[in-house]
Homo-oligomer: A and B are copies of this chain.
Amino acid sequence: MAGTKDRILDSSAELFRRQGYTGTGVKQIVAEASAPFGSLYHFFPGGKEQLGEEVIRWSGDMYMQLFLTFVADAPDVATAVEEFFAGAAETLRETDYADACPIATVALEVASTNEPLRRATADVFHRWFETLTGYFAEAGIPTEASRKLAIQMLCAIEGAFVFSRAMRSTEALEVAGRTTAAAVREALVTARGNG
């Protein structure tokens, strides 16, 4: 039965990131997951809202894990950032501009309408800020500059996802990747100069 729960989480994550939380019904979720209808309430007694919260936390953490795995072998942090944006652009093109941020669509829908789900998105984003700050700090960039860089990078990619999906073009993602990588390089030079 563990496989069923994973399939429900996985299908929900895909539907939420592509069409949002409000527009996704539980019937569509169980159909996509090839799961019996009752299994959703078996694993998520709180129904769609509990599922929504678990999906936000689970797919948000997965995405940061994906980033860390993706960049593990990069020769330096600036190249890592550049390659991550390029990878995101490739994924967008391969999925017909459907798969971008796992939780941004839901985050904007629930920010002013559903407090438990808003809190889940905020918790994920706080962890992204912290993990990415740590990642840049480990490369020798001072903590304050690392946090600024982390936020700059995350804003750039989230904004680029909005434009790239809507415009069916990766131009925004390419600009965002280049400008973020340049900012990382500059921060590294500054850090070394002061080191």
Contact = CB atoms under 8 A, between A and B. Distances in A.
A152 B179 contact: yes
Contacts of A175: 148, 151-152, 155
Contacts of A176: 151-152, 155
Interface in A94-152: 96-98, 104-105, 107-109, 111-113, 118, 121-122, 125-126, 148, 151-152
Given A148-B175, A152-B175, A179-B152, A20 B108 contact: yes
B156 A156 contact: yes
A34 interface: no
Interface in A1-47: 18-20, 22-23
A179 B23 CA distance: 35
A164 B61 CA distance: 19
- Counted per complex, copies of this chain come to 2
A87 interface: no
Chain A, interface residues (CB within 8 Å), range: 35 or more
B111 A108 contact: no
A118 B169 CA distance: 13
Interface in A48-72: none
12 contacts: A18-B112, A19-B113, A22-B23, A112-B165, A122-B166, A122-B167, A152-B156, A152-B176, A155-B157, A155-B162, A155-B163, A158-B158
Interface of A: 18-20, 22-23, 96-98, 104-105, 107-109, 111-113, 118, 121-122, 125-126, 148, 151-152, 154-160, 162-163, 165-168, 171-172, 175-176, 178-179, 183
